[in-house]
Amino acid sequence: MLVDGKWTKSWDPYQKTSNDGSFVRQISSFRHWITPTGDTGFVAEKDRYHLFVSYVCPWACRTLMVRRLKQLEDYISVSVVEPFLTDEGWNFGSYPGADDVDPFHGFKYIHQLYTHADALYTGRATVPVLWDKKLNTIVNNESADIIEMLNTAFNHLTNNQLNLRPKDKLTELLDLNDFIYQEINNGVYKAGFAQSQNAYQRAYENLFSALDVLDEKLSHSSYLLGEKISEADIRLFVTLVRFDVAYYSLFKCNKKHIGEYEHLSAFIDKIIHIPGIKETINIDHIKTGYYSVKALNPTGIVPVGPELAVAI
């Protein structure tokens, strides 16, 4: 991580651990907001913004999904890092599907973007990073903010009417978002990076009861809030699509494959077939990336399987 703008030590996957050995995620620190009027200093305009992502990362990929669903390709360009976490964190390079170098400064590492934006930055250099090409700085590094912002900030320019945060269902959506974040998105990490048997077992049990709840919910409707796709679906999807490939074995979330859940697997299939969504998923990067975490997989061997129930 960075301390006062200096890269301190080799990359380590453990963000923070609480006293009982549970995994704790860092709070994001760049929280600017793009708006139609630019009252915040960041106005919505064509070709001004850029997303730095890793296909490995569910948080980054949810921003890619929303960019596609909201037809923002001409407004927000994208760079992809290599799937491995190096001793200096995410880097650009020649791995297939990645970009060689940061296109604006020629940086090799994502952490250089952070120190460019704040020379004394302290914290982890995470993806996604939403970059402002005009002001040459980070707008926001919190994917929850980014997807919320992309849902509305550019609508007057794109005329895209899809609303992933319907006002009439906002309370239900926020409750679902919270549940999905706690029990599923972060739930798999709590199991995978637990540092005590108790913390792991608690995470495992909570995760699979939450999956049961959502599988049941999806037996009544196409999407979590009914017949229209919402933010909650995107949040759920990014974890489900990585589950059988990475979390099941590497994170020891091995009670069931998602392929064994009738409604969750139909849900994955439905979302994958939305035009453009397949391009936001790169199974090779996901597998290579997760299995490159030495703390969890010291040999670095990447499994060949599994054969996925839903073809991607």
Ligand X SMILES: N[C@@H](CCC(=O)N[C@@H](CS)C(=O)NCC(=O)O)C(=O)O
Which residues are part of a known binding site for glutathione? Answer: 90, 124-127, 142-143
40-79 mask for ligand X (x: CB under 6 A)? -----------------x-x--------------------
- Among 83, 128, 187, 192, the residue binding ligand X under the rule CB under 6 A is 128
The Cα 66–Cα 100 span in angstroms is: 25
Active site residue 291: no
- Could you count the other beta carbons within 10 Å of the beta carbon of residue 102? 21
Stretch that binds ligand X, among 45-53, 120-128, 165-173, 243-251 (CB under 6 A): 120-128
Is 177 near ligand X (CB under 6 A)? no
Is 126 near ligand X (CB under 6 A)? yes
Residues whose CB is less than 8 angstroms from the CB of residue 85 and which lie 6 or more positions away in sequence, other chains included: 11, 13, 289, 292, 293
Active site residue 189: yes
Per DSSP, the three-state class of 91 is: strand
Residue 51 host element (H or E): strand 49-53
Say if CB 203 and CB 17 are below 8 A apart: no
CB of 80 or CB of 125, closer to ligand X:
125
Site for ligand X in 79-98 (CB under 6 A): 89
Stretch that binds ligand X, among 75-83, 123-131, 160-168, 175-183 (CB under 6 A): 123-131
| DSSP strand pairing (76-80 vs 129-132) | unpaired
Stretch that binds ligand X, among 33-41, 141-149, 161-169, 249-257 (CB under 6 A): 141-149
Task: Report the candidate in 206, 228, 218 with the shortest Cα–Cα distance to residue 261.
Answer: 218
CB of 125 or CB of 271, closer to ligand X:
125
Given the residues 189, 200, 261, 291, the one annotated as active site: 189
Stretch that binds ligand X, among 29-37, 125-133, 149-157, 301-309 (CB under 6 A): 125-133
Looking at residue 227, its amino acid is E
7-46 mask for ligand X (x: CB under 6 A)? --------x------------x------------------
The Cα 286–Cα 80 span in angstroms is: 13
- Could you count the other beta carbons within 10 Å of the beta carbon of residue 93? 14
The Cα 207–Cα 202 span in angstroms is: 8
Is 192 near ligand X (CB under 6 A)? no
Give DSSP secondary structure letters for 163-177.
Answer: -SS-GGGHHHHHHHH
The Cα 215–Cα 159 span in angstroms is: 34
Token pair recorded at residue 101: 């170098």
Given the residues 57, 95, 247, 261, the one annotated as active site: 57
CB of 102 or CB of 215, closer to ligand X:
102
Is 127 near ligand X (CB under 6 A)? yes
Is 231 near ligand X (CB under 6 A)? no
The Cα 262–Cα 236 span in angstroms is: 15
Residues assigned a catalytic role: 57, 189
Binding region for ligand X (CB under 6 A): 15, 28, 57, 59, 89, 124-128, 141-144
